[in-house]
Amino acid sequence: MRQGVEISGAMWSVEDNHFLGTLEMIQKLEARTVLAAFPVDDLFKGACLEQRYVQFLGRNLPFFQFDPTCVKGFLMEAPPRKAPPEFEVAIAQRLQDWFGDLPQTFRTDAERLQVEDQRVRPACYQPGLSDNMMFRIVPYDIFLADRAIADCYSQTRPQWKINATLWSHVVARICGTKIVDANRGWRPGASHTEKLLIFAKDWVQRRLVRSSKINSPATEGSWSDLGWYARHSCTLKEMWESTPTADRQRITALWGSDPWSIPLSDWAKPATLTAKGMSHGNSPYSLFRILTLLNYWSIQRQS
């Protein structure tokens, strides 16, 4: 954790320290271009468009539709997190300065692209700041520097982005169709019908075969189980309980409430999935962001 925080300058959470493990491989490949996942999501998969899941009988289907409501919450979390009282006025003013000219509802492609563009530009303000950590690990230019890709972004219709239609065809052309999506299980370029059938099949199988809960830092998908560390890590527990009073007070001011008033085990609970995505309430994702700052301040003191 300390190495990742030191390299990134606390610009990204320690939950993503797997970047450190890829450095040697990238160097051996002599890669000239590295595409980070979040910028791809932002530019070509509609991550910065207002969207919500398509629902059927109260269930979220693996497709998105446009949401006409503009979300201007703190850090654009879904649902919006209330700003800490000490910084509420300053945060509101900053959001107003940047997003104040946006309409309250979106009805046209031009209006939808306007809010997306406000969130994507400049690149350093993307919702996913993983690039900034990678900048310090491997010397590479963010792919927005490529004129051809920037032109592609500027000409892509919202309808092609919202369900990753264009990006899916790009991946199929480059990688072929014999690979499958690690999260969903379908091939690049799959039609909506094919995706829906695979989703329905997996839904039935999950209910017929109740697999046992995996008790490890990894999950069955492509994401780490951060809650595992909150439940089992002695290092994390010791770090949490020995946090200096001054650091606790700083985190409380930034967070808006005292995180130490919540049992550490409660931070292990997964974030709530909503129609707009993942809520970062009292979740392991939020815990690891707090740990990032605690590590950073500790390193500053020692240096």
Q: What is the DSSP string of 20-76?
A: HHHHHHHHHHT-S----HHHHHHHHS-TTS-EEEEEETTEEEEEEEE--BPP--BTT
Give the per-residue pLDDT at 297.
94
21/109 same-domain check: yes
Average pLDDT, rounded, for the chain: 79
Assess if residue 119 is contained within a domain.
yes
48/121 same-domain check: yes
Assess if residue 269 is contained within a domain.
yes
143/235 same-domain check: no
273/155 same-domain check: no
Q: How many CA atoms lie within 13 A of 103 on its CB side?
A: 13
Asked if the peptide bond before residue 259 counts as cis, ω within 30 degrees of 0, the response is no
35/158 same-domain check: yes
The pLDDT tens digits for 85-135 are 888 899 888 888 888 888 888 889 999 988 888 877 655 444 444 555 555
The pLDDT tens digits for 137-147 are 665 555 555 67
Six-digit token string for 79:
């649902």
Q: Stretch 150-177: mean pLDDT, rounded?
A: 87
Q: Stretch 143-169: mean pLDDT, rounded?
A: 81
Out of 142, 163, 184, pick the residue that ends a domain: 163
- Which comes out higher in pLDDT, residue 214 or 236? 236
Q: Check pLDDT > 80 for residue 195.
A: yes
7/155 same-domain check: yes
Q: Full-prediction pTM beyond 0.85?
A: no
156/22 same-domain check: yes
- Torsions phi, psi of 206, nearest 5? -65, -25
Assess if residue 19 is contained within a domain.
yes
140/16 same-domain check: yes
120/25 same-domain check: yes
Assess if residue 271 is contained within a domain.
yes
Assess if residue 99 is contained within a domain.
no
18/110 same-domain check: yes
Nearest-5° Cα angle at 76, 278 to 276 = 35
- Torsions phi, psi of 299, nearest 5? -65, -40
How many separate domains does the chain show? 2
58/142 same-domain check: yes
The pLDDT tens digits for 228-268 are 888 899 999 999 999 999 999 999 999 888 999 988 888 88
Assess if residue 180 is contained within a domain.
no
What whole-number distance in Å separates Cα of residue 206 and Cα of residue 209? 5
Out of 119, 140, 163, pick the residue that ends a domain: 163
Give the per-residue pLDDT at 234.
92
Assess if residue 76 is contained within a domain.
no
DSSP β-bridge partners for residue 224: 218
Name the nearest CA neighbour of 229 among 190, 284, 178: 284
- Torsions phi, psi of 277, nearest 5? 130, -145
Assess if residue 172 is contained within a domain.
no
For 238, the domain range is 226-298
50/136 same-domain check: yes
Out of 163, 186, 205, pick the residue that ends a domain: 163
